[in-house]
Amino acid sequence: MSRDALGWRRKFAVVAPSTNTIVQPDMDDLRVEGVTNHYGRIHVPNMKVRNDKEFVDLVEAIGATLYEAVDRCMTCEPDYLIMGMSALMFWDGRDASEKRMNQLAEHCGVGVSAGSFACEAALNLHGAKRIAVISPYFPVSDKNVTLFFQDCGFDVAKFRGLKCGSPVAIAHVQPEELRQVVLEMDDDSIDAFVQVGTNLSMVKLCNDMAVELGKPMVPINAATYWHALRANGIMDQFTGHGPLFEHH
């Protein structure tokens, strides 16, 4: 069988909303030799999000053209699919999300990594029980994220939803603001922090604060890419990227 000249270990298809500017650079930063990322964009208008109803409209808009984006990606014959958007894969809890993910895997004929299940795996690796969650979303989505983690057996002790006003605005949240949120939430009762929302830039901050606070910090983009690599038997360690879930 002939091999891709650059993606000789694996070719990953990554689907993300067209409004998302963070997931692509994050995952390219985490790419290892012989693995290539091939992005498909889900057409999403930069809708105003001012309340729960408008947030649900946004999630439905992403779901409406997800399969079209996946089908476009599959034409390069990728080995695996990475979900570069997360809200849909938390919705209605773990069982409903697993069903959604399995349907997607069946549709495209390759395995799938999604942020929700990747965060679960990373938290389990650390034996975390009581977690604090940071989200760019509105309360309706925060309820679904909480439900998912509760279904996984975690105690969601604290939750901060930032209520970002549009999909593009999520990427405008700066590290200083997110650092402040983490410090406000941190206390002895919290085992680990999780950040959801793939357009929120938090990978570097999480790596730095994991050292500073001595607690696991799980940013969703890094967790998802790590999950995809491990699912494909690629065990490379991320030198220079801080403590990414596994002890070196």
pLDDT band at 237 (very low <50, low <70, confident <90, very high): confident
196 with 226, same domain? no
Judge if 81 and 133 occupy the same domain.
Answer: no
Beta strands 130-135 and 155-161 are parallel
| pLDDT (0 to 100) of residue 243 | 47
**pLDDT at site 160:** 98
Give percent of the chain above pLDDT 70.
95
Q: Are residues 14 and 31 in the same domain?
A: yes
For 141-186, write each residue's pLDDT tens digit.
999 999 999 999 999 999 999 999 999 999 999 999 999 999 999 9
For residue 240, is pLDDT > 70? no
Is 40 a member of any domain? yes
pLDDT of 246 strictly over 90: no
Cβ(114)–Cβ(224) under 8 Å?
yes
Q: What is the CATH number of the domain that holds 160?
A: 3.40.50.12500
Residue 110 shares a structural domain with residue 186: no
Give the total number of structural domains in the chain.
2
On whether both 43 and 64 belong to a single domain, the answer is yes
pLDDT tens-digit map of 203-217: 999 999 999 999 999
Res 248 pLDDT > 50: no
| Domain region containing 100 | 10-114+222-231
CB 192 within 8 A of CB 109: no
- Yes or no: say if 139 and 52 are a contact pair by the CB < 8 Å rule: yes
Report if residue 22 sits inside a domain: yes
pLDDT band, residue 10 (cuts 50/70/90): very high
Q: Please check whether residues 141 and 179 belong to one and the same domain.
A: yes
Confidence band for 242, pLDDT divided at 50, 70 and 90: very low
The pLDDT score that the predictor gives to residue 129 is 98
158 and 64 part of one domain: no
238 within some domain = no
Gap between the Cα atoms of 214 and 199, Å rounded: 25
pLDDT at 128 exceeding the cut of 70: yes
On whether the CB atoms of residues 81 and 105 are closer than 8 A, the answer is yes
